[in-house]
Structure 1
Amino acid sequence: MQEFAFELALCAHLERPDRVVGRQLGAAVHGRRVADVCLVEPGPEFDRRAAVTPHTIPPLAIESDAGPGTARPVAEAFDCHPDRARAVAERAVELGFFEREREGASTAVRQTVRYPEQWFDSLVGIENKPDLDRPGDLRDQLRIDASLGLFDEVVLATETYVTGAHLNRLPDAVGVWRFDPETGEREVVREPEPLATDGPGIELLDREPGRAEVRPVTAAEKRRQRRRIAERAYGKGWRTYELPDCERCAPSDAEPADLADARLPWCAWTDGLVRPVADCGPTCPGYEPVDGGDSDGDAEGVPPSEGPEAVRARRSAWEPDPAGVDRRQAGLDRFL
């Protein structure tokens, strides 16, 4: 099965009401590492974070000097280009994380609520490689994850039968799952070892024969990047596609049943999962344009009109319509 389909099937299998699943997330501090899948396990302040916004809170807004107390001018609250600072502040206001005030000729902002740093408990990074006979950059990718320590645990997911030779090529701390996307069965070949997320790490940036370029990463930099990964996973999720506008895209026909419930892009013509942008459209021999109504069929117990956000809300800890937070702190008006 193609890697995209394998990845979607695994995300559907791992999604559950007490966690958040994200896909294709930046997982480097100085380099360009991208994690295929990330599991975000809620922490004690999860409900406080969920109450703010269903979207990703801009990292620069969280890291700015604009706290929940006295409002600060945008130019002073951010350590970046003024145009960038204004754009980030505006987005944070739209999301309800900032509120805006006027201070003379300038704009000032402050947080509507103190950011709940403990909203997530742990992060699990998963690298998908269905065919271990075509490993690509797998070894270096997993070495980056193991030595950097952004994730509490790192796992390799594959469809291949895993041999001792395969295991010997991987860092000892990396766990291994054998996953069958057609049945949803998952076998734990090797349990992952906990990584040291609280301390400093080493990031592999480049490797050539006889030479490796690495860079130390501080504990503070890791904390910041872990928060960014968790925020991005919460706002982005893993359904980063639209179902094709084709009569033969029928998620309710997917097997196993979990794939149907997750509303994945299942094509009845190819009898498998497809990449909507790359595989679907008028150039496909099996394409049949939708003639009114919905193209996603009707899985048992699932309304045919249920969109991706409703499915995600039903199957995960993500809150699509939060109550929000008070936009003005009681008692502060008299000091303005």
Structure 2
Amino acid sequence: MSSPSEFAFELALCAQLEQTTDWLPARQLGASVASPGSRIIDVCAVVPGPEFDERARITDRAIPAAAIESDVGAGSAVFWRDGFDCHPGRARRATDRAVEVGFFESERRRSREYVRRAARYPDDWFSRLVGIENKPDLGSPGDLLRQLRLDVSLAVFDEVILATESYVTGAHLNRIPEEVGVWRFDPDTGDREVVREPQPLSPGSTGVEPVEYHSLHTDVALVSPAEKRTARLRLAERAYGKGWRAYDLPACAHARVDADGRPVCAHFDRVVDPGSECGADCSAFEAADPPELDRDGLRESRTGWVVDPAGAVRRQSGLDRYF
């Protein structure tokens, strides 16, 4: 985020979506494929599909895409490395994480680890991924147009939306790619006006991802449908596991949380960004324990996400896999 006001805008929008839709919003997730980390989407909203409840019963945390796409089945256990067609290091990390979150069961046979799936993975647990780029002030667009063009040409999302607090003119709409929807959102009142509906993108087709910009040309990478399927799966899982309240709360006597779980400063009477506004450099800072916030309870009460489900197997501590 480039400013505290954008942080507050983003949190207000996530809270509004959580209360007015059945979407699961999450913040600040990687949305590029060929050049990982080069595109961070402000909000990725997961729209539940017909098998959402089955996904919620497995685990409340993200399942690695490599584990989901592996050849590890629910029948006979296999040697962990034989179930993957990828780099051994990535396979090892995916195996450990899948066991930790309860998607894989693990057993030892003569000092070798064998794994099987603890549950069937529901392919239709989400129906759409909506990418939302926040730009409260269109008078300071920065790299907005370049980011939106990338989102449209890559088409990892089913829809892309620009959310702003500014009055949107015809000139603005003409500059923004026509596939991008536009919302005007008031973070103080929670009012959200649909200025333009988004057009459906084509996540099932080959995408074009700009990877390097030059003065006279742009280098691009073609991203196959299979690569995009993996990227979408990774995005959906990370959004499911992370949510939008992943920020630390300020360790300050003036710190509070509002009904939505947003960090509020009682001294300045507004939402603050703990990462950039709070701490010893603040003139009003008074060291204290951070306020309490039941992130999981709040999210569970407002969405279909389930905290600590029973799952197919109970989570293992990790140590019992080595003895």
Q: Any gaps of 5 or more consecutive residues in structure 2?
A: 315-323
**Residue of structure 1 equivalent to 2:267:** 269
TM-score normalized with structure 1 length: 0.86
**Residue of structure 1 equivalent to 2:186:** 180
Aligned-residue offset at 1:104: 3.8
Structure 2 counterpart SS, 1:166? helix
The yes-or-no answer on 1:6 pairing with 2:9 is yes
Give matches, 1:14-53, under 5 Å: 14-16=17-19, 18-31=22-35, 32-53=38-59
**Residue of structure 1 equivalent to 2:317:** none
TM-score normalized with structure 2 length: 0.89
Identical counterparts, % of pairs: 54
**Residue of structure 2 equivalent to 1:257:** none
Distance in 1 (alpha carbons) for counterparts of 2:123 and 2:224: 18
Give matches, 1:191-202, under 5 Å: 191-202=197-208
Question: 2:105·2:313 contact (CA, 8 Å) conserved in 1?
Answer: no
Instruction: Rate the CA distance shift 1:313–1:167 in 2: closer, same or farther, 3 A.
Output: same
Q: Paired residue for 1:250, among 236, 250, 256?
A: 256
**Residue of structure 2 equivalent to 1:99:** 105
What letter corresponds to residue 10 of structure 1 in structure 2?
A: L
Aligned-residue offset at 1:81: 4.0
Structure 2 counterpart SS, 1:18? coil
**Residue of structure 1 equivalent to 2:149:** 143
What letter corresponds to residue 5 of structure 2 in structure 1?
A: Q
Give matches, 1:143-292, under 5 Å: 143-251=149-257, 260-290=258-288
Structure 1 counterpart SS, 2:255? coil
**Residue of structure 2 equivalent to 1:90:** 96
Question: 2:46·2:129 contact (CA, 8 Å) conserved in 1?
Answer: yes
Distance in 1 (alpha carbons) for counterparts of 2:311 and 2:102: 7
Aligned-residue offset at 1:323: 1.9
Distance in 2 (alpha carbons) for counterparts of 1:55 and 1:279: 29
After superposition, the C-alpha distances for 1:229-257 in whole angstroms (9 at most, x for unaligned) are 10000001111112222232233xxxxxx
Distance in 2 (alpha carbons) for counterparts of 1:187 and 1:83: 47
Aligned-residue offset at 1:83: 4.2
Aligned-residue offset at 1:27: 0.8
Question: 1:127·1:156 contact (CA, 8 Å) conserved in 2?
Answer: yes
Distance in 2 (alpha carbons) for counterparts of 1:187 and 1:36: 19
Structure 1 counterpart SS, 2:43? strand
Distance in 2 (alpha carbons) for counterparts of 1:325 and 1:130: 44
Q: Paired residue for 2:310, among 315, 319, 323?
A: 323
Instruction: Rate the CA distance shift 1:82–1:218 in 2: closer, same or farther, 3 A.
Output: closer
Aligned-residue offset at 1:105: 4.0
Distance in 1 (alpha carbons) for counterparts of 2:190 and 2:7: 15
Distance in 2 (alpha carbons) for counterparts of 1:135 and 1:240: 26
Q: Does 155-164 or 207-216 show the bigger shift?
A: 207-216
What letter corresponds to residue 33 of structure 2 in structure 1?
A: V
Aligned-residue offset at 1:37: 0.2
Distance in 2 (alpha carbons) for counterparts of 1:277 and 1:326: 37
Q: Paired residue for 1:119, among 110, 119, 125?
A: 125
After superposition, the C-alpha distances for 1:186-212 in whole angstroms (9 at most, x for unaligned) are 111111111122222222222222201
Q: Does 123-132 or 12-21 show the bigger shift?
A: 12-21
Aligned-residue offset at 1:24: 0.6
Distance in 2 (alpha carbons) for counterparts of 1:126 and 1:119: 20
Question: 1:73·1:103 contact (CA, 8 Å) conserved in 2?
Answer: no
**Residue of structure 1 equivalent to 2:139:** 133
Count of aligned pairs: 308
**Residue of structure 2 equivalent to 1:255:** none
Aligned-residue offset at 1:306: 4.8
Q: Paired residue for 1:311, among 298, 308, 311?
A: 298
Distance in 1 (alpha carbons) for counterparts of 2:105 and 2:175: 51
Distance in 2 (alpha carbons) for counterparts of 1:186 and 1:288: 36
Aligned-residue offset at 1:287: 2.1
Distance in 1 (alpha carbons) for counterparts of 2:313 and 2:286: 49
What letter corresponds to residue 62 of structure 2 in structure 1?
A: T
Question: 2:265·2:272 contact (CA, 8 Å) conserved in 1?
Answer: yes
Aligned-residue offset at 1:176: 0.7
